[in-house]
Amino acid sequence: MKQIDFIGKKKIFFAISIAMVVITLLFSIFKGVELDIQYKGGTMITYSYTGEIDHSAFQSLVEETVGGRVFIQDSSDIATGSSNLVVSLASTDGLTSEEQATLSDAVESAYAENNLKTESISNVSATVGREFFIKSLIAVLFAAIVMVVYIGFRFKRISGWSAGVMAVIALIHDVIAAFAVFVIAGIPIDANFMAVVLTILGYSINDTIVIYDRVRENRRIYGTKLSTAELMNKSMNQSLKRTLITSLTTIMALAVVAVVTLLYNVTSIVSFVFPMIVGLISGTYSSICLVPSLWVMWQDHQASKAEKQEKKK
């Protein structure tokens, strides 16, 4: 079987990743990052209705009335069986009483045939969302530190600390890829974003550990017969099939969920499953294409540094 030279193609892999990061940054600057109501604060209004309502037309009417972007979600009241539309307007100030009354009059008049009625109006504070976001960031930081420590001790024979750091760098790359979906698709950053991040941290590191384990085993078998690049390439090719099959199986399962959520317009799941799919694809890519090359570059740098110091003596 032909061996793939992953390390020899590192410049291509690095260029792809840098391009992804730059595109994400440009979209964030020029398009802006949407924040969900729980992080920005704002107003939530629930309307009950009968029959069928065109969501796009309804959203356009609401946005024209309030003069800002809103997000619409379907819900149902289990007790009464009625259908509801939940309008979320992310805003630091929310809607005033007059603006709320104007909006209710506009939509109730336009959809009188659907018996559309205002069920509840509430202004949401961003305080709770901010606290949750801060706690989630602390959890991510703690997880990253634990990963470096764990990999450092488990793979001491192959310079475990550097292996752990490279793995965390790849995880940051995967988080940026998932973030790119939110920014480019205009999905508001909500609790699903943090759920995606934490899931990626747990899943993507698995492939990296499998590769490191193969490197450690090959180092024991071949010793210094293979260069660092040859050692990594051999380990990568040995674990490639397993890595791809595992990732593909998970991605296919998520793809089925994505199709179902689109068919039934379950927007709360859509904002999780699509970034998750991209994050898993990125995780597979970074485990195969980035982590090995970064680790080899660092090992070669350290070896060159040690050689220069030896010559000075």
Confidence of residue 78 (pLDDT cuts 50, 70, 90): low
Range 42-124 classified under CATH 2.10.10.90: no
Report pLDDT for 17. 94
Could you tell me the pTM of the whole model? 0.80
Q: Is the sign of the CA dihedral 216, 218, 224, 230 positive or negative?
A: negative
Q: What's the CA gap between 83 and 90, in Å, rounded?
A: 23
Residue 136 exposed, middle or buried by CB count within 10 Å (0-12, 13-18, 19+): middle
Same fold, 7-31+128-312 and 42-124: no
Report pLDDT for 200. 84
- pLDDT per residue as tens digits for the range 198-247: 888 877 788 888 888 999 999 888 888 888 889 999 998 988 888 888 88
- pLDDT per residue as tens digits for the range 113-149: 888 888 888 777 666 667 777 877 788 888 888 888 8
User: Using alpha carbons only, what angle is made at residue 250 by residues 247 and 253, rounded to the nearest 5 degrees?
Assistant: 150
Domain 7-31+128-312, CATH number (from 1.20.1640.10, 1.10.10.10, 1.10.3720.10, 1.10.10.60):
1.20.1640.10
Q: Where are the domains of the chain?
A: 7-31+128-312, 42-124
Confidence of residue 13 (pLDDT cuts 50, 70, 90): very high
Structure tokens at 299: 């090992």
Q: What's the CA gap between 171 and 179, in Å, rounded?
A: 12
Helices (H) and strands (E) in the chain, counts: 10, 4
Rg of the chain over CA atoms, in angstroms? 25
pLDDT above 60: residue 41: yes
Report pLDDT for 128. 62
Q: What's the CA gap between 309 and 313, in Å, rounded?
A: 7
Q: Which residues, other chains included, contact 173 with Cβ-Cβ below 8 Å and sequence gap of 6+?
A: 17, 21, 282, 286, 290
Report pLDDT for 117. 85
Report pLDDT for 293. 92
Q: Is the sign of the CA dihedral 5, 241, 200, 273 positive or negative?
A: positive
Mean pLDDT of the chain: 84
Report pLDDT for 180. 92
Q: What's the CA gap between 197 and 189, in Å, rounded?
A: 12
- pLDDT per residue as tens digits for the range 273-303: 888 999 889 989 998 999 999 999 988 888 7
Please say whether the beta carbons of 196 and 275 come within 8 A: yes
Q: What's the CA gap between 200 and 246, in Å, rounded?
A: 14
Q: What's the CA gap between 285 and 289, in Å, rounded?
A: 6
- pLDDT per residue as tens digits for the range 162-175: 888 888 898 889 99
